[in-house]
Amino acid sequence: MVKVIYIKLTKIGNTLDTFDVFDQFGNLIAGDVGSKTLIDGIGYTVDSSVLYIKLVSKGACNYEKVKEIGISTADDFFLKETEITKTGCIWEHLNNSGIYNAYYGAIHPYIIEYPFFTSPHDDILQSFKDYSNVFTYVGNAKFSTANHIESDNIYFNKLIAYNNQQCSGLLKLVPKPRRNLKEYMKYPIYNSDSRSILFTKSDNFYQVNGIYDILKDKNIQMFLPFQGSLSIDKVLNQENMIYTPRSFSKAPLRSKDSRLRLMLDNRSTVHIISRFVYTENQISYK
């Protein structure tokens, strides 16, 4: 025997998620159900022995709700308003010194942005040097200098250099191959949505070169507002970037102010201590 049950959320937090729906036996009734669908209300056919259902959130806050199947009229059920609450989950981190920008098993970007200002003339941004320490830890001791290892070939994996009218696009940072000229000569690599370039570490400075403007139209915004996590304020407008090889027409980033946006989103097992950055500029004469 089967029966039809109806599910409707009457209270939900302001961070909307997707859900998996299970019965009390652990059987999956429906997967990846959007919160809007559950707010509107939806029906499922289940076995008549099912008395409880469980909603499991698949968002950043991994929570679950078990509810007994009740009996009500359609009017009472579907016409009831849903209350949006401003509750949040508790984020626990730094319990393990080897794990940093990961929350509930998901990697979240570590982003740091440096602004630079020159006056009264314009400068051309040629390269930059970053004095940062990048550590990996062994064991679970919290920030102990006895169990960390400083790396020379791990760094931020993405970079965007820009000013108000120019942008480098997305630069993927790759450590310089050691004693491998064939591999070294492959760079830069032009991808459909980025350009892969090399970084080096010398005299304890991470150094990046090969920065130039690839903005297609300066009358169109280079960034778009991000609709997800509030920790990410903007994302690159890739439709306004040109990632094609340029032998000669490489417009330098020329302005009185510039910004370096460094991102780490491909790993969560390194601890980056950013100390200071300085740029190597050339005065731009007109």
Residue pLDDT, tens place only, 176-218? 998 888 888 999 999 999 999 999 998 899 999 889 999 999 9
91 domain residue, yes or no = no
Check: pTM over 0.75? Answer yes or no: no
Based on the domain organization, do 47 and 182 belong to the same domain?
no
Domain count, the chain: 2
CATH of the domain at 15: 2.60.40
11-67 pLDDT tens trace: 766 556 788 888 888 888 888 888 778 777 788 888 888 888 888 877 666 677 777
Q: Are 77 and 13 in contact (CB under 8 A)?
A: no
User: What dihedral angle (degrees, nearest 10) is formed by the CA atoms of 100, 105, 107, 112?
Assistant: -30
Q: Are 59 and 18 spatial neighbours (Cβ–Cβ below 8 Å)?
A: yes
Tell me the C-alpha distance between 36 and 57, whole Å: 13
Assigned domain for 95 exists: no
Question: So what's the pLDDT on residue 233?
Answer: 79
Q: Which of 85, 116, 149 is the last residue of a domain?
A: 85
Give the mean model confidence (pLDDT) for residues 214-241: 85
On whether both 115 and 241 belong to a single domain, the answer is: yes
8 Å CB contact between 20 and 33:
yes
Same domain, 63 and 159: no
Question: Which of 55, 85, 115 is the C-terminal boundary of a domain?
Answer: 85
Q: Does residue 90 belong to any structural domain of this protein?
A: no
Q: Are residues 122 and 201 in the same domain?
A: yes
- Asked if residue 18 belongs to a domain, the reply is yes
For residues 183 and 55, state if they share a domain. Answer: no
Q: Is residue 94 part of a domain?
A: no
Helices (H), the chain: 35-40, 74-78, 181-184
One domain for residues 145 and 261: yes
45 burial (CB, 10 Å; 0-12 / 13-18 / 19+) is exposed
Of 51, 85, 119, the residue at which a domain comes to its end is 85
One domain for residues 78 and 109: no
> Do 77 and 107 fall into the same domain?
no
Q: For residue 225, is the peptide bond before it cis, meaning its omega torsion is within 30 degrees of 0?
A: no
Do 66 and 179 sit in the same domain of this protein? Answer: no
Co-location of 217 and 246 in the same domain: yes
**Do β-strands 11-13 and 18-23 pair in parallel, antiparallel, or remain unpaired?**
unpaired
Residue appearing with tokens 């990996």: 136
Give the structural domain span for 13.
2-85
Do both 198 and 60 map to the same domain? no
202 assigned to some structural domain = yes
264 occurs within a structural domain: yes
Least confidently predicted of 55-64, 89-98, 136-145, 237-246: 89-98
- Compute CA 90 distance to the chain's CA centroid, rounded to the nearest angstrom: 20
64 and 129 in a single domain? The answer is no
Per 3-state DSSP, the chain is made up of helix, strand and coil in percentages (nearest 5) of: 5, 45, 50
183 located within any domain: yes
